[in-house]
Amino acid sequence: MATAFDIKILWTVFKDIGTFLSGQADKKKNSVVNAHKAINTAFIKTYDYLRNRNGQYVPNIELAEVWNQASASIMVVDQGLGEMLYHKSRFWLDPQLYINLNRDSEIIELNQVIDEMEKLRMRLT
């Protein structure tokens, strides 16, 4: 009788572990989806802004805010990319300052952002 009881307890433990692990996987997947969405939003707004401004880099608070949001969302998934997006946010507060300080090389370009979004998307498969 003790053996049946032990098996029942073990089964419950394994089931709980499985439920916990699948919940963790779902949380991670949701974090990646949210990060991708935030980066894509920032990309779209920046692309539209640059296309309509003929590529002029002038301060833009809205772009600084969307890149900051993207940075915060990605930090959970990829801290290095989150740091790059943070710099992009700061860049849009005063682009000329970054250029004058020769720090514009720290700013991730939009073609690199596309590559990073693809890498995020691949994490979902």
pLDDT at 125: 75
Predicted model pTM: 0.76
Which pLDDT score is estimated for 106? 85
**CB atoms near residue 117 (< 10 Å):** 16
pLDDT at 49: 92
Look up the domain containing 23 and give its range. Answer: 2-122
Number of domains, the chain: 1
Distance, in Å, from the CA atom of 51 to the CA atom of 64, rounded to the nearest integer, reads 17
- Mean pLDDT, consecutive 10-residue segments, the chain of 125 residues? 56 56 70 93 94 84 96 93 95 92 89 92 82
Alpha carbon distance 58, 117 (integer Å): 25
Say what the pLDDT of residue 44 is.
Answer: 95
